[in-house]
């Protein structure tokens, strides 16, 4: 288990933090620490609480109990303005990407900085971008392999290409961490591996903390030095995948089936 001494610097820290919605406990109170530069995959079946966990890590949800510390600051009682500043330092790639289809690719990348800019600043970024900004966007698109699509309309790109635009948008934010919610569930298996590899490479290159929700256990095992397994809102394991046996992995999904059979 990773060191959870409260003095150690960490990007994200959950202390007894959980989240419930009415009677449903989406995430049971958990103690988790994500150190700077950690690359972590969160695995588990649908409904296990993966998205809830990510939402706690970018403060789009507040915990029902316990403490959440993001980038060294406890978010309890934080003003909305301060929360937005924290969020602008954490890049989130949602499952459905959230790109604007009728904007150009470079414009979608440019929206990455919307959290750090004032309202009309973003307007200028999207319609009268300075050359330096366009150059940086071009460089990022080059890094993710789609630089020729700089001026293309985003809706014309394939699913995998749009995924790369979303990654470029995340990087344009100059974040300290990247949260990715099931980035490859809508992509074919061949592309999925290269996308996951890309994200882990980028995180390592830039020293970013990366937390990625994944459905595919094999992908998670291959690319991440640390796996967190969730089942029904509970943390089942949190360690190096090489040290885990196949039974523990199987239990993540199998027990769910048994429970289903029991309920009849």
Footprint of other proteins (CB under 8 A): 58, 60, 80, 83-92, 94, 96-103, 111-112, 114-116, 119, 122-123, 126, 153-159, 162, 173
Q: Pick the closer one to other proteins by CB: 90 or 211.
A: 90
In whole angstroms, what is the distance from residue 157 CA to residue 149 CA?
8
Q: Pick the closer one to other proteins by CB: 79 or 242.
A: 79
Q: Pick the closer one to other proteins by CB: 54 or 235.
A: 54
Q: Pick the closer one to other proteins by CB: 98 or 225.
A: 98
Q: Contact, 133 vs 191, CB < 8 A?
A: no
Q: Pick the closer one to other proteins by CB: 68 or 227.
A: 68
Shortest CB 78 distance to other proteins, Å: 9
Shortest CB 96 distance to other proteins, Å: 5
Shortest CB 178 distance to other proteins, Å: 11
Shortest CB 254 distance to other proteins, Å: 33
Shortest CB 58 distance to other proteins, Å: 6
Q: Pick the closer one to other proteins by CB: 150 or 232.
A: 150
Q: How many CB atoms lie within 10 A of CB 132?
A: 8
Q: Pick the closer one to other proteins by CB: 95 or 239.
A: 95
Shortest CB 90 distance to other proteins, Å: 7
Shortest CB 104 distance to other proteins, Å: 11
What's the chain look like in SS3? Answer: CCCCCCCCCCCEEEEEEEEEECCEEEEEEEEEEECCCCEEEEECCCCCCHHHHHHHHCCCCCCCEEEEEECCEECCCCCHHHHHHHHHCEEEECCCCCCCCCCEHHHHHHHHHHHCCCHHHHHHHHHCCCHHHHHHHHHHHHHCCCHHHCCCEHHHCCHHHHHHHHHHHHHHCCCCEEEEECCCCCCCHHHHHHHHHHHHHHHHHHCCEEEEEECCHHHHHHHCCEEEEEECCEEEEEECHHHCCHHHHHHHHHHHHHHHHHHC
């Amino acid at each position: 288990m990773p060191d959870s001494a409260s003095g150690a610097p960490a990007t994200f820290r959950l202390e007894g933090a959980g989240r419930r919605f009415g009677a449903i406990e989406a995430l049971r109170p958990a103690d988790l620490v994500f150190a700077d530069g950690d690359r972590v995959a969160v695995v588990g079946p649908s409904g296990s609480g993966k998205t809830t966990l990510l939402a706690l890590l970018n403060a789009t949800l507040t915990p029902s109990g316990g403490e959440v510390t993001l980038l060294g600051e406890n978010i309890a009682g934080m003003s909305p303005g301060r929360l937005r500043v924290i969020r602008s330092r954490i890049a989130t790639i949602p499952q459905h990407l959230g790109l604007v289809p009728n904007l150009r690719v470079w414009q979608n990348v440019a929206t990455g900085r919307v959290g750090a800019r004032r309202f009309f600043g973003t307007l200028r970024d999207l319609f009268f971008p300075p050359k330096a900004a366009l150059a940086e966007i071009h460089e990022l698109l080059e890094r993710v392999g789609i630089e020729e699509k700089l001026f293309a309309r985003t809706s014309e790109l394939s699913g995998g290409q749009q995924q790369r635009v979303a990654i470029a948008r995340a990087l344009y934010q100059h974040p300290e961490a990247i949260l990715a919610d099931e980035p490859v569930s809508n992509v074919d298996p061949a592309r999925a591996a290269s996308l996951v590899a890309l994200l882990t490479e980028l995180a390592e290159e830039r020293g970013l903390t990366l937390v990625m929700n994944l459905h595919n256990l094999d992908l998670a095992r291959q690319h991440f030095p640390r796996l967190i397994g969730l089942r029904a809102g509970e943390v089942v394991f949190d360690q190096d995948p090489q040290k885990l046996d196949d039974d523990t992995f199987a239990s993540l999904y199998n027990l769910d089936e048994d429970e289903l059979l029991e309920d009849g």
